[in-house]
Amino acid sequence: MSIREQIPFLEALADIDERIRQVDEDLALRRGGLAALRTEVVGLESKMATGRESISGMEKTRSELSIEVRQMNNQIEKSREKLGRSRNERESVAATRELEELRKLLRDREDEITKIDNLVERARTSVTEAETRHTQLTKELAGDAEGVALALADREQQRAELTARREVTVKSMPPVLFRRYETIRTRRPRAIASTHDGTCNGCHIAVPPMMFHKMLRQEEFDQCPNCRRLLYYTPRAAAGGSEESGDGSG
C-alpha cells in the first residue's frame, strides 16, 4: 500500500480519535458536575449532623446550669434569712460575704447561660441554612441525575460507535504505521499533520528544504522536526481541508 493510499486511513483515524477525545471530555465534565453536587450534599449532611449534635450538647449544659441557678437562688434566700437572724456583727459580716459570693456565682452562671443561648441560636441558624441548601441540592441532583444519565448514555453510545469505526480503520492500516501513530499520540492529541508548501500545518513551522523535497516523492512518512507529528505532503488542491486539521499548538 502506497503512502497516497495510506493517508486517507490515517486522516480518518485522527478524526475519529479527535471525536473520541471530545466525547471523553464531555463525559468527564458531566460526571464531574454530578460528583461535585453529591460531594456538597454529603458535606451538608455531615454539617447538619455535627450542628445538631452540638446543639444537643449545649442544651444539656444549659439545663445543668439552670438547675444550678435554681439551687443558688434557694441558697441566696437562705443566706438572706441567715443575715436577717444575725445576732452580732461577726455573724452579719459572714452572712453578707456568703451572700455576695453566691450572687457572684449566680451572675457567672447566668452569663454562661446567655452565652450558650447565643451559641445555640447561631448553631440553629447554621443548621437551618444547611437544611435549606440540602433540600435545594437534593431536588437539583434528582433532576440533574436523570438528565445527566440520559446524556451519559447518549455519549457512551457515541463512543462505542466511534470505537467500532476506529477498529475497522486500524485494520486497514499497516501495523508499523499504526504503531508510529500511537507512539506520537501519547504526546500529541492529534498525531498527524500535512504540508503543501514546506510548512507543517500542525505547528506552522517550516521544515528543512531537503526534507520537503524528499517528502514530495511520497515514498515514506516523515516527522516534523519541531512538533514530531507524522508529516506528509499533499498537493495544494487537496490540502485545503487537511490544513484545518492542525490544532495550532507547537
Strand partners, 233: 195
The domain in which residue 81 lies consists of 21-171
Question: Is residue 2, in this structure, part of any structural domain at all?
Answer: no
Please check whether residues 208 and 182 belong to one and the same domain: yes
DSSP string, 203-246: T--BPPHHHHHHHTT--S-EE-TTT--EEEE--HHHHHHHGGG-
Cell of 48: 447538619
pLDDT (tens digit, 9 = 90+) per residue, 42-83? 999 999 999 999 999 999 999 999 999 999 999 989 888 888
The mean per-residue pLDDT over the stretch 30-46 comes to 84
Q: How far apart are CA 228 and CA 233, in angstroms?
A: 15
Average pLDDT over all residues of the chain: 87
Decide if 54 is inside a domain.
Answer: yes
Residues 107, 42 share a domain: yes
- Give the side-chain half-sphere CA count within 13 A for 188: 25
Q: Where are the beta strands (DSSP E) in the chain?
A: 192-195, 222-223, 230-233
In a domain? residue 10? no
Same domain, 140 and 63: yes
Overall number of domains in the chain? 2
pLDDT number for residue 250: 46
Name which residue leads in pLDDT, 148 or 226: 226
Distance CA 12, CA 18 (A): 10
Block residue for cell numbers 449532611 = 45
Q: Based on the fold, state whether residues 138 and 205 are members of the same structural domain.
A: no
Is residue 238 included in any domain, yes or no? yes
Residues 204 and 160 placed together within one structural domain of the fold? no
